[in-house]
Chain A
Amino acid sequence: MTIASITEAKTIFRRRSAFTMIEMIASIAVALVVFLLIYKLLSGVRNHYMYGTVNLQNLQDARLAINHLRRDFSSACPRFKDGGSPANAYIYVNRLRKYVFKDPPGWASQYGDPIQITPNGLSFFRFEFDAGSKPRVELVQYQFDAATKTLKRKYKGSERAFKGFEAVEFRLYTHMVNPAVPLLWVRLLIHEGKEMYGSANIGKPLELTTTISSNFVSSSLNNLTWNYETYHN
């Protein structure tokens, strides 16, 4: 065997040598650290994304619900029943005006239906702006169902559900600007984390409050002397 052949054999042997234990452990450790860093990065990005989408969904839900509530309640009114004659109509209107709002659900007056507001529900009539000669009103109802975390809106036989609501609160108050006209106060607490990702820990609950007045109630209560209304269809 020549020296050259021995050197070649050594070279072949070295080329075929496997990783040592130290090399393996070191490379696995480095790979683990790299994977961990990538995992942390991707997991952080995913958490940010989920947090952001939940917050954005909360915002959209709040805006949608507030828009519906404002549009409906701004033309809310009690429904005056037909008194059968102009004299009776005048009496009916003015007797119901003494209440306008009434709390106990189902409370009915022979003179008409007042606006009913409970902590988790609204029931009122809304003016329909059509071309008819007699004012036509339609019943609108909102009800919060805590079990399903849903705010339901019923109108003209159809129902719309606003989901993801942790709490909904309706209250009436009178403001120092004019104690004669009560205002509707609404509080919404929305959290879509459970609905979207199955965890209430993702995202931040959104709480929003606002005040809504009814132009018809305001006009009716502010101008008792001249604002004469007849019954509603």
Chain B
Amino acid sequence: MRARKGFGFVEIIVATLIAAVCSIPIIMMVSSSRSETSKAINYLRAMELANEALEWAMIATDTANLDTNLSGCGGSLIVDVGGGTLGPADVDTIDPLNPKWDADGIISRDIGYSDQYNTAYFLRSISVVPVTSGMGAGYMSEVRVEVKWNEGRAPTNLMDPAGDRMRKITLTTLVTHDNRIDY
């Protein structure tokens, strides 16, 4: 009779606990793969934001205010769009120099970022430092783009470059000022 007795209450509880403990790593693994994908997506976006700023640098001509022009393009990509509501920032577009492009209607002015960028609180800062020594001295500048962002939480200060963003990438390139080269 005793040999045919079923499981006791304590045995059931212990078995359930073991099963629960064993399932935790599975759930953790699956959910962490999802959050890792989300991090990878934000990383790709940050890379493209940095690349975008480098593209701006690469079309720049030799102007004395290159630093001002380019550095002014930095800042938070989530801004106050009115009434305290936060929304995606716009790209700093300007009227084209060639009026033919406008006449053909091929230039857009309302260029902006997706709402999906909002949760990462991207912050981009751009600096231009003239090369003062070596081969490029006098006609090259170093352009450094830094993109910081957060994963899953808002920063305490949206605009502070030293703010509490969790992640950061930096891309750097050299820009040649053609007009300064004596051919």
Contact = CB atoms under 8 A, between A and B. Distances in A.
Contact of B37 (A44, A55, A207, A215): A55
B173 interface: no
Interface stretch (A80-88, A125-133, A137-145, A166-174): A166-174
B51 A210 contact: yes
B178 A182 contact: no
A211 B69 contact: no
Contacts of B92: 175-176
Contacts of A99: 100
Contacts of A103: 104-106
A212 B58 CA distance: 10
Contacts of A173: 91, 93, 107-109, 111
Interface of A: 41, 44-45, 48-49, 51-52, 55-56, 58-59, 62-63, 66, 70, 98-99, 101-104, 117, 171-183, 185, 187, 206-213, 215, 218, 222-223, 226
Interface residues of B, number: 51
A212 B96 contact: no
B44 interface: yes
A180 B97 CA distance: 5
Contact of A48 (B23, B30, B55, B58): B30
Dominant secondary structure at the B interface: helix
A126 to B, nearest CB: 17
Interface of B: 23, 26-27, 30-31, 33-34, 37-38, 40-41, 44-45, 48, 51-52, 55-61, 66, 69-70, 72-73, 91-98, 100-101, 104-109, 111, 113-116, 178, 183
Contacts, number: 141
A183 B114 CA distance: 18
A179 B97 contact: yes
Given A44-B27, A59-B40, A66-B48, A182 B107 contact: yes
A49 B34 CA distance: 8
A62 B92 CA distance: 24
Given A177-B59, A178-B60, A206-B41, 17 more contacts: A41-B27, A45-B27, A48-B34, A101-B101, A103-B106, A172-B107, A173-B93, A173-B111, A175-B94, A180-B96, A180-B98, A185-B91, A187-B114, A208-B48, A210-B51, A211-B56, A213-B59
